[in-house]
Amino acid sequence: MIPISRPLLGEEEVEEVKRVLLSGYLAHGPEVEAFEEEFSRFLGGRVCAAAVSSGTAALYLAYVATGLQRGKRLLTTPFTFMATASPAVQLGAEVLFADIDPETFCLSTEAVKEVLEREEIDLLVPVDLYGQATYLDDFEALSRKYGFRIVEDACQAHGALWKMRPAGTFGDVGVFSFYPTKNMTTGEGGMVVSSDEELLEEVRTLRNQGQRGRYEYAALGYNFRMTSIAAAIGRVQLKKLTTFNEMRRRRAEIYRELLDDVDGIVLPKEVKGAHHVYHQFTVRVKGGLRERLIEHLKQHGVGYGVYYPRLLYDYQPLKRFAPPGDLPEARRASLEVLSLPVHPGVSEHDVRKIAEIIKSFMRERG
């Protein structure tokens, strides 16, 4: 079976984990601080970083630090992972949704403008979906005009760029996830980044039970700390990230070469100004053939993903936030998207094999 995702770990990670185990510093400590500094440098030194236990924890803390609470309103895309919205609901905020750009699957700037013309919001959360960051400077301009804050959900975009600026460095706060399916991993983990040192200090306090010093509680906080073991893995993975991303881009290029002229398959677009790192290589399958193609891939031992088969407001916990009318581009995407293996652990030979399997299936039904 060719998996849809697989972390690429080697002896370097094993040796670093051994070193940390023998050091005795297993929880939050110097290893985490070193990882934070290195991640900040990776982002060009534009921001400082606070490591946490997961991407979801990172989003939660970012929302708290930007003032999201009962009576406040967050605007985001319905075509994303649940964790983009669920912390907002847990904090008592109202969630609004805007439609996506059909070419990028990310929030549409025009759709956001339409919402802003009739609604007031406190926080905008653009999601760098599938590894591509787009039009984030436009959202910054809108935030200056309308007075809302921005949390950039870069959980799928480690190393992506928009107009030569790293994903995660736009708006007030950026958030990353290091789950095993991501472009780099710590096992479980996340990172909050910001150029606002006061805001980031609040994140650091809240992640550590509200402590600013040992038994000096400044707030009611959480245990959202990253472990030293996770940080050690992350430090090695960060050194490999650029190579990993180049490998993903090469695999995406092969798919493009082989599937470009296949009727019924629409390839993902890398928009001008974006450096896509292909957390997922996501095509559209037209003509209602997606489920049949999925069965065909399964029969040939090929993993796949559908990210995402439903919109967030389709799920019971968020149904009360559904917009008055359905969002057509997001809905269409949920019915057509199909992600193919593009991670560094899949060989170029296997990518060519997958492309041929898809071509033969689509030809037979053409």
Question: Residue 267 is part of a domain; what is its CATH number?
Answer: 3.90.1150.10
Enumerate the H helices of 280-343 as residue ranges.
290-299, 328-336
Predicted confidence (pLDDT) at residue 111 exceeds the cutoff of 90: yes
Where among 217, 236, 255 does a domain terminate?
236
Instruction: Judge contact between 63 and 82, C-beta under 8 A.
Output: no
* Same structural domain, 133 and 255: no
Q: What is the C-alpha separation between 334 and 309, in angstroms, rounded?
A: 5
- The answer, yes or no, to whether residue 215 has pLDDT greater than 70, is yes
Token duo for residue 162? 């928009």
Q: How many CB atoms lie within 10 A of CB 343?
A: 23
Segment (H or E) for 124: strand 123-125
Which residues span the domain enclosing 92? 11-236
Q: Where are the alpha helices (DSSP H) in 208-347?
A: 228-259, 290-299, 328-336
Distances in whole angstroms, Cα of residue 61 to Cα of each of 55, 139, 279, 284: 10, 21, 24, 34
pLDDT tens-digit map of 36-82: 999 999 999 989 999 999 999 999 999 999 999 999 999 999 999 99
Dihedral of CA atoms 274, 279, 284, 285 in degrees, nearest 10, equals 160
The burial of 22, by beta-carbon neighbours within 10 Å (0-12 exposed, 13-18 middle, 19 or more buried), is given as exposed
Contact 135, 110 (CB under 8 A): no
Q: Confirm whether 250 is domain-assigned.
A: yes
Provide the whole-model pTM. 0.97
- pLDDT for 163 equals 98
364 pLDDT band, cuts 50/70/90, is confident
**Residue 18 predicted with pLDDT over 70:** yes
Give the pLDDT mean for 199-212: 96
Residue 365 confidence (pLDDT): 81
In this structure, are residues 303 and 341 in contact, taking their beta carbons and an 8 Å threshold? yes
Instruction: Examine the domain organization and report whether 63 and 180 are in the same domain.
Output: yes
Mean pLDDT of the chain: 98
Same domain, 207 and 283: no
d(CA 105, CA 134): 10
Dihedral, CA atoms, 173, 178, 184, 185, nearest 10 degrees?
Answer: 150
Query: What is the model's pLDDT at position 29?
Result: 87
The whole-number average pLDDT for the span 9-13 is: 98
Residue that terminates a domain, selected from 192, 219, 236? 236
Q: Residue 142 maps to which CATH number?
A: 3.40.640.10
Whether 214 has a pLDDT exceeding 90, the answer reads: no
Question: Where among 236, 261, 279 does a domain terminate?
Answer: 236
Domain membership flag for residue 226: yes
pLDDT per residue as tens digits for the range 120-178: 999 999 999 999 999 999 999 999 999 999 999 999 999 999 999 999 999 999 999 99
Q: How many domains does the chain have?
A: 2
* Statement to judge: residues 91 and 29 lie in one domain: yes
At 69, is the secondary structure helix, strand, or coil?
A: coil
Q: Is the pLDDT of residue 366 over 70?
A: no
Q: Which of 129, 338, 161, 347 is nearest to 251 (CA)?
A: 347
**Residues 192 and 258 both lie in one domain:** no
Measured distance CA(246)–CA(249) in Å, rounded: 5
Q: Mind listing the pLDDT tens digit for each residue in 282-328?
A: 999 999 999 999 999 999 999 999 999 999 999 999 999 999 999 99
Residue 213 has pLDDT above 90, yes or no: no
